[in-house]
Chains A and B, each alone.
Chain A
Amino acid sequence: MEKREALDRLTGLVANFTGMIGKRLPDDVTAKLKALSEEETMPMAKMIYEAMAKNQEQAGELNRPSCQDTGLIQMFVRVGSKFPYIDDLNTVLKEAVFKATKEAPLRHNTVETFDEVNTGTNTGTKSPWIYWDIIPDSDKLELDVYMAGGGCSLPGQGKTLMPGEGYEGVVKFVLDIITSYGLNACPPLLVGIGIGTSIDSAAYMSKRALMRPLGSHNENSKAAGLEDELVAAIDSIGLGPQGLRGNKSVMGVHIENSARHPSVISVAVNIGCWAHRRGTIILNSDLSYEMVTHKGVEL
């Protein structure tokens, strides 16, 4: 394949992948929503779950974005140092979002700050927002694409606590967000929590946590235990779908952690709504691909 042709193909694949994410929920989210719906006993909550299921079905049939807020696009890139298109990747990803905006279509959600103008293309200054990681000695590209909607971005908060406030302060911080802003962020929620040294690391990890598969746990057994405790605690509040009460509140709680300076403990929260539109794809050097989160989908 000529290089230009390959870059066009790569751009097309990422554009199609991005558009698809807006129309079809990942397999783990679909399964979790089905389970929550089946377990639910309150009539209002059951009716809402039914509307949600019908919506996803119609979005598939009509090939339309399932939620009108297709977010500002964020990506986590893990690129092999030997991936043949590494030098062009930044441009490719931006062009892919531009292309998906027209073709999917996506709502126009990139507003330049200070100039306060909607670019109309979902591209702009540092938009899409991209995190980069290099995988040594690999020729693959692993890509997470996430649609960060307004409703689920709004509860995002972080705070650096004094160690005296301890993990008690951490869990209070999390639960206060859930009963205030979380309520309007389209429950059942996926709660991403970052715990570490400074506010930037905590914030980064809290978003990274939202990319993890539902049902996965932190490697540290104490952190994994706290994930389960927080699921139980937040479920006991009984937000239900749309915050209109129900048996449960969350699809999951994911904690990511790093070491901290002895004088501080930073915590940050990022929320995923029930329509958690994130996808992971692995592309090989010949641009064949493996769909991680959306099995059986052809781009």
Chain B
Amino acid sequence: MKKILNTPISDEDLKDIKIGDVIYLNGHIVTCRDVAHRRLIEYGRELPVDIQGGAIFHAGPIIRKIEGEEDKFEMVSIGPTTSMRMEKFEKEFIEKTGVKIIVGKGGMGPNTEAGCRENKVIHCVFPAGCAVVAATTVEEIEDAHWKDLGMPETLWVCRVKEFGPLIVSIDSEGNNIFEQNKVLFNERKDKALEDLYTKVKFIK
């Protein structure tokens, strides 16, 4: 059965969710990436949308204006961007905003792990490149903030239904699936290299 969370999210909702679990989301998620993080943390500006108990998506979508309607937009394609770019800001971002679910691509580091552990937050991966699957779960773009940042960086407030699959990569205890995998990948790489070195003696 699908595990579906609804925003706003509580600590209790995330308690039994572990890395490697797959969840889906109903409610609201706001796109939020490089410059929005920088504005909040480095320039001390307040986020123009309340995401207490909410979710953010490290993503820069393709949006189309709905013809004949004022300030209404349609989600064409939306998928995650590399979360690691937000690592530098994420712990403080969590503390300042009260966000509970961060969705992106690839792993994040120790700063975010600590933020997740101390504030009971999770980071999830949406399969990257699957931008139409994601876009079709967006029922409506309800609002848009900081439009001066251009299409990819605007904060698009999306109402979603069964948004997912979301693969939990950091859980609320700070366990990190990518860090665990990295250890394994590096061991395997060293072994593969030992073998390769014997096969590339082209310079005699």
Residues of A within 8 A of B (CB): 44, 47-48, 51-52, 54-55, 58-59, 62, 64-70, 105-108, 118, 120, 150-151, 154, 163, 166-168, 170-172, 175-176, 178-179, 183-184, 186, 222, 225-226, 229-230, 233-234, 236-239, 241-245, 273-275
Which residue from B79, B84, B133, B197 sits with its C-beta under 8 Å from A171? B197
Across the interface, which residues of A come within 8 angstroms of B128, CB to CB?
67, 151, 186, 242, 273
| A47–B2 alpha-carbon span in the complex (Å) | 13
Across the interface, which residues of A come within 8 angstroms of B76, CB to CB?
64-65, 68, 105
Judged by DSSP, the binding face of B is mixed
A108 close to B77 (CB less than 8 A): no
Closest to A172 in B: B193
B131 at interface (Cβ–Cβ under 8 A)?
yes
B105 close to A183 (CB less than 8 A): no
Interface size grouping (class) on chain B = 35 or more
A118 close to B77 (CB less than 8 A): no
Least Cβ–Cβ distance between A20 and chain B, in angstroms: 15
Which of B37-45, B58-66, B95-103 is near enough to bind chain A?
B58-66
B189 close to A179 (CB less than 8 A): yes
29 contacts between A and B (CB under 8 A): A44-B167, A48-B165, A48-B167, A55-B127, A62-B132, A64-B77, A65-B77, A65-B131, A68-B131, A151-B81, A151-B82, A166-B201, A171-B193, A175-B193, A175-B196, A176-B189, A179-B182, A179-B186, A179-B189, A184-B84, A222-B202, A226-B200, A229-B196, A233-B192, A236-B191, A238-B185, A243-B107, A244-B177, A273-B128
Across the interface, which residues of A come within 8 angstroms of B20, CB to CB?
44
A67 close to B129 (CB less than 8 A): yes
Which residue from A52, A118, A237 sits with its C-beta under 8 Å from B127? A52
Which residue from A44, A58, A226, A229 sits with its C-beta under 8 Å from B133? A58
> A-facing mask of B168-195, CB < 8 A → 1, else 0?
0100000001100110111011011101
B158 at interface (Cβ–Cβ under 8 A)?
no
8 A Cβ contacts from B133-169 to A = 133, 135-136, 150-152, 165, 167, 169
Across the interface, which residues of B come within 8 angstroms of A105, CB to CB?
62, 64, 76
Which of A66, A68, A183 has most chain B Cβ within 10 Å? A68
A107 close to B60 (CB less than 8 A): yes
Least Cβ–Cβ distance between A81 and chain B, in angstroms: 37
- In the A-B complex, the 4 residue pairs with the smallest Cβ-Cβ separation, listed nearest first, are A184-B106, A167-B200, A55-B130, A68-B77
| A244–B107 alpha-carbon span in the complex (Å) | 10
| A105–B178 alpha-carbon span in the complex (Å) | 34
B189 close to A107 (CB less than 8 A): no
Which residue from B61, B82, B131, B188 sits with its C-beta under 8 Å from A237? B188
B51 at interface (Cβ–Cβ under 8 A)?
no
| A266–B24 alpha-carbon span in the complex (Å) | 46
Which residue from B60, B133, B135 sits with its C-beta under 8 Å from A51? B133
> A-facing mask of B110-132, CB < 8 A → 1, else 0?
00000000000000010111111
B129 close to A186 (CB less than 8 A): yes
Closest to B131 in A: A68
Least Cβ–Cβ distance between A185 and chain B, in angstroms: 8
Least Cβ–Cβ distance between A226 and chain B, in angstroms: 7
Which residue from A150, A178, A186, A244 sits with its C-beta under 8 Å from B181? A244
